Copies of this chain bind each other. A is one copy, B any other.
Amino acid sequence: MKKNRPLILITNDDGISAPGLRALISVMAELGEIVVVAPDTPQSAMGHAITINSTLYLNKISKDNDPFLEYSCSGTPVDCVKLAVNEILKRKPDLCVSGVNHGSNSSINVIYSGTMSAAVEAGIEGIPAIGFSLLDYDWNADFDTIKSFIRKISVEVLQNGLPDGVVLNVNFPKLKEEDIKGIRISRQAKAIWVEKFDKRKTPQGRDYYWLAGEFVNQDKGEDTDEWVLENGFVSVVPVQFDLTAHHAIQQLNTWKWNE
């Protein structure tokens, strides 16, 4: 860890008032100087959306005597990171943490997740970054049970940095602290959501839909995030933003593209 206190940017996708964010703040305040920039409204499932056709507002929430800077932002989680880095922070932070999300971002959920997209955006900007999620959708979930793990993982990343182009997707099982078996590096399980739209009618008789669905995991691997979580471990998946399927390039080059 650096001699000076590290600078830590904190964001999330459940919004500035979420208990999961407050839990993350309480851990990070012990590790460094913190700045919070979080959405002013819930932004779950926003993926890597950014605001380009509308204006963005920043509201300073903290007062002059408060121990840290805190802002709410009218945009998405990714907007929060961009605004923090470019308009608020005086230097590049040593760490960006996002969450703690109220609910899972394991497996394919990583791709829909605003929490993880904020961490990925920080990674794109060259900042070591971690997204934290707890497998409990309850607004009043117990985040105290996972604080020691959040601290441990964050200290490791502050000390070691992260491999180039990699951010961490950390998911916690819904267990008491003493029942969590440890931390496991894992891979994204090949699972999907099988959608079942809920079709209804407005009072005026117009059809509308609610997106609903069932999570289906057909990946039986014992090295997946789903297996690790089901078996009582904290899952840490290294996530990359080079989306190139390098393994497919050779095969595609055998096709007759230019004949």
Copies in the complex: 2
Determine which of B110, B244, B258 lies in contact with A182 in the assembled complex, contact meaning CB atoms within 8 Å: B258
7 tightest A-B CB contacts, nearest first: A47-B48, A240-B245, A47-B47, A238-B248, A238-B245, A183-B257, A56-B209
Residue pair B241, A111 in contact (C-beta under 8 Å)? yes
Interface size on A, residues (CB 8 A): 79
Which residues of chain B have C-beta atoms less than 8 A from A199's C-beta?
A: 87
B-facing mask of A43-77, CB < 8 A → 1, else 0?
A: 01111111111011110000000000000000010
* A197 CA to B50 CA, complexed, in Å: 13
Residue pair A187, B249 in contact (C-beta under 8 Å)? yes
Could you tell me which A residues sit within 8 Å of B by CB distance? 42, 44-53, 55-58, 76, 78-79, 82-83, 85-87, 108, 110-112, 117, 120, 124-125, 152-153, 156, 160, 163, 165-166, 169, 182-185, 187-188, 190, 192, 195-197, 199-200, 206-211, 236-249, 251-253, 255-258
Residue pair A156, B255 in contact (C-beta under 8 Å)? yes
Which residues of chain B have C-beta atoms less than 8 A from A48's C-beta?
A: 47-48, 111-112, 117
